[in-house]
Structure 1
Amino acid sequence: MKERGRGSCCGLFDGRRCRRGQKEKKSEHEQKHEHDERRRAPRLLRGPNHSGAQLLLLERTMARNASHAGTWYTENARELGDELDRWLRAAGSAKRSNARAVIAPSRVFLLGPSHHHFTRKCALSTTSVYKTPLGDLPIDLEDVAFLEKKPVPLYLESVYQELKATGRFEDMEISVDEAEHSMEMHLPYIAKVFQGCSVKVVPILVGALQPDSEAAYGRLLAKYIDDPSNFFSVSSDFCHWGSRFNYTYYEKKHGPIYKSIEALDQNGMSIIETGDPRAFRDYMQEYDNTICGQHPIGVFLNMLEHCNTRLQIKFLQYEQSSHCKSMRDSSVSYASAVATVAAS
């Protein structure tokens, strides 16, 4: 991850300071600071006339780079597209010969755990767009419109505006945003699946929440599930097993270590499928399974409990990075699930 300069001066450096008629050369620190401030500075766009007055749109222009491209996955757009095509074909899709219409989401909520930044709250990105090798994904931001003859701003409704107005969300600095991989790993899939469509993302970094906070965020976000134009993507791995993860829970009755890990994960997956946030919390307290997305999952389960739409969760696939057979081994478990509208 590239570190961004964070100067201590409070204003923008305008590049017009002179000494004895000569332009003063900017220091490396000033250049970095100016570059960073330009990334975060609002941009005023002049739009079409509206009721005889000129409309000005204030827009944030800072972008989150695909900071893990080239290391965690390929940064080559063609190679990445080919890989995703191959994986999506292998996953298959449910065919509906009698389908006559489709409701497609225009907004994707991302719930991801925080691996590097500690917070007891949830955080919202301070950028305006998430970059991917397959194209940019704009964030559903607050747009502020001003009429030239009327200084009163007109707020164009957005999800980020609504969420920030609750006072329960922190701002996520770009350094934190770009260091975090949990939501970025979902972005290439979203960019690929929604290619050619107008879709915005709502990234929410979920901190180390207490049970009451998980419930509170679940209640707050529940209404968005009832809107069919919204889609949710929850990021989580499952058991991180081994001494390097400081977790070596093992029940010999299941046989080899990897079978014990699978039984542990499957137990948690079965509980998640019930949609009961309290049962999942009890499971985590009993086994302390190293599920990195336990808090995003907890928030999502609380959302299901408080929304009007009845959803059913079903796990589709489970894998382990390797099969542990001795206490010297280590592995990470991966599981995928889908939540669908239950048949009435």
Structure 2
Amino acid sequence: MGQREMAVAGSFYPKSKEEIDKFIEYFNQSFSLKNASDNLKVRAIIVPHAGYIYSGFTANLAYNLSSKNRYKRVVVIGPSHKIYIEGASIALYESFKTPLGDLKIDLEYSLKLKEAYSFLTFIPEAHKEHSTETQAPFIKNYFEDIKIVELVYGKLDFNELSKLVDELLENKDNLIVISTDLSHFYKLEEAKRLDNICLNAILKRDLELFDKGCEACGKVGVKALVKSSIKKDLEFELLHYCTSYDRTKDDTSVVGYSSFLLKEKV
């Protein structure tokens, strides 16, 4: 079955373990966890997938908080940017390479999902995808020996994906990771306006609001998770929102980033 090789190491994130360790150490020195309760039962996270210098802090928050829980596997779901896909591709490799060491792919679980959902296939080319790969070093850092499942989707109805997410949520051994950035390449004020629609749609679990201006590239995955959260009566918590402007100081063409927890109500 082979290995899921790294496609964007050295561009979206560093190639070396030492540099990634420095990034994560820096991110963790930059905030204090006011609500890091031992009772925090995190079932899923929504995280960005840009270069670590832009959105790594935002993503790291969600991984840090969710790592207070124990899981057997992480299921990473992200949109395809490089190739057109009908449905989704699930990675049928044995391992997933990262600069921090390999993650074991849960091949048995992945094959079962592929059998159960007709929209799942295996397209090797789809797994040179940064939306999912940028998550792998965080996963290896925070959940060292956990197994991973990688799912990259293209043209897919969120209602179909939500059926799979429902099944994933039935099993508390799973942490679901939904990868998305927000608006792309607007002026800062317009980006914030559009992103605010996305953030409110998630927090209010309002599926109709997404279609009133939310331009998240992973909107299908986010809507699927929101639909499932309504069924399972789970709630979202916004951890962080920022834009590329915070890093570049260029307000003429920005990208938005956010991270959320989906958790059981206390």
Is the structural similarity TM-score above 0.5? yes
**What is the deviation of 1:274?**
1.6
- Equivalent residue pairs, number: 235
Alignment partners' CA distance in 2, 1:260 and 1:176:
32
Q: Is the 8 A contact 2:95 2:102 kept in 1?
A: yes
Partner of 1:90: 30
Q: Which structure 2 residues correspond to residues 219-230 of structure 1 after superposition, within 5 A?
A: 219-230=163-174
Aligned match of 2:179 in 235, 239, 245? Answer: 235
Q: C-alpha offsets along residues 89-137 of structure 1, whole Å, 9 cap, x if unaligned? A: 32433444899xx750111010100112212312111322111000111
Show the counterpart of 1:203: 150
Q: 2:194·2:215 contact (CA, 8 Å) conserved in 1?
A: no
Give the alignment of 1:162-241 within 5 angstroms. 162-178=112-128, 180-195=129-144, 198-209=145-156, 213-241=157-185
Q: 2:16 aligns with which of 76, 82, 95?
A: 76
Matches within 5 A, 1:36-47: none
In structure 2, C-alpha distance between the alignment counterparts of 1:303 and 1:204, rounded to whole Å: 17
Tell me how far apart the structure 2 counterparts of residues 227 and 141 of structure 1 sit (CA, whole Å).
17
Equivalent residue for 1:131, pick from 85, 97, 101: 97
1:117 partnered with 2:83: yes
Corresponding position of 1:246: none
Letter of the structure 2 residue corresponding to residue 65 of structure 1: E
Distance 1:299 1:120, change over 3 A: farther
8 Å contact from structure 2 (residues 4, 93) kept in 1: yes
Which consecutive residues of structure 1, in runs of 5 or more, have no partner in the other structure?
1-59, 143-158, 243-256
2:249 is equivalent to residue 299 of structure 1: no
Determine if the alignment matches structure 1 residue 262 to structure 2 residue 192. Answer: yes
User: 1:24 — aligned with what?
Assistant: none
TM-score, normalised via structure 2 length: 0.80
Mapped partners of 2:155, 2:193: distance in 1? 26
Corresponding residue of 1:342: 265
Q: Is the 8 A contact 2:198 2:216 kept in 1?
A: no
Distance 2:181 2:262 in 1: 17
Partners of 1:186 and 1:166 in 2: how far apart?
25
What is the rounded CA distance, in whole Å, between the counterparts of 1:215 and 1:188 in structure 2?
30
Per the normalisation by structure 1, the TM-score is 0.63
In structure 2, the gaps of 5 or more residues are 41-67
Q: Distance in 2 between matches of 1:216 and 1:126?
A: 21
Matched, 1:318 2:265: no
- Structure 2 CA distance, aligned partners of 1:340 and 1:260? 30
Secondary structure of the equivalent of 1:70?
coil
Return the letter of the residue paired with 2:18. R
* Bigger RCO (CA 8 Å, 6+ sep): 2
Q: Secondary structure at the match of 1:237?
A: coil
Give runs of ≥4 in structure 1 deviating > 6 Å.
Answer: none
Which of 96, 101, 106 is equivalent to 2:72?
Answer: 106
Aligned match of 2:51 = none
The Cα RMSD (Å) is 2.2
For 1:97 and 1:104, locate their aligned partners in 2 and report how far apart those are by CA, in whole Å. 11
Contact kept? 1:103, 1:228, Cα under 8 Å = no
1:70 and 1:293, CA in 2 relative to 1: closer, same or farther beyond 3 A?
A: same
